[in-house]
Amino acid sequence: MSFAGQTVAITGASSGLGLHLARQLATHGARLALMARDGERLREAAAGLGNDTLLFPGDVTSENDCRQFIGEIVAEHGALDHLIANAGQSMWARFEEIENLELLRRLVEVNYLGVAHCIHAALPALRKSRGQVVVISSIQGKVGVPFHSGYSASKHALEGLVDTLRSELHGTGINFLQVYPDWIRGTGMRQNALGSHGQAVGDRKHDHGGAGVTVDECARAILRTMAKGRSSLYIPRKLQYVSCLKMFFPGLLRWGIRRRLNTQK
């Protein structure tokens, strides 16, 4: 597996999965372009990744920021080979207990529009390189999960977007890889999840209770799959059966999800 000389753009790269992907890609020789909202935190996170790493403080919910980000990459490196749409926001609240429905708007803006903005800006460069778009989705893009109504809905929206683009861009050489992870440990995503009041739940977060995969394992699996040019990745692999369970045994699937959530602290 080698990404030597290839230019890889990553959103949400100042922490969590985005940062782990950047670090591993750097060891494989990739030229990195990283985007995150907090410029200072991004600079601190990128220390040691190489002097040619392009850093762009910006927000994926801004169409202009995304266009500027891709524009700087092409100006600096002359090409873009991989776009990893990683920036995301989660939630933890019963739908009926949400105090301000702007929470739902925020999730759509980050998780859906943020991806759409970046892909739209990057398509001309990816056409030239016959490159790849990696969408960090969630198994919740396949099945709804209690307390995550807005998050699951935003990830379902990504399914429609990518399915459509695969058809529209057939023959261009652009590959779309959708990643469907389970809970990822070590990302801080749950602390930053929005609660019913629209603010991060912080220390009141629910604990995984040992479930899920580590962020390092997730990053390594994504890079292996990117190198193979595949269209989907389930982490762990057994999650690929969720769609079948939803179609043929929906009641059993919902029971299993509720049972699992009840074991989390």
Count CA atoms closer than 13 A to 122's CA, side-chain side.
Answer: 36
Q: What distance, in Å, lies between the first and last C-alpha atoms of the chain?
A: 39
Q: Is 180 known to be catalytic?
A: no
Are 122 and 11 in contact by the 8 Å Cβ rule? The answer is: no
DSSP 48: T
Cis peptide, bond prior to residue 146, ω within 30 of zero = no
Which of the following is catalytic: 112, 151, 180, 234? 151
Three-state DSSP class for residue 87? coil
Least Cα distance to 225 among 164, 156, 184, 175 occurs for: 175
Q: Answer positive or negative: Cα dihedral of 107, 111, 114, 120.
A: negative
d(CA 36, CA 40): 10
Strand order, beta sheet including 175-181: 54-57, 31-36, 7-11, 82-85, 132-136, 175-181, 232-235
Active-site residues, by number, are 151
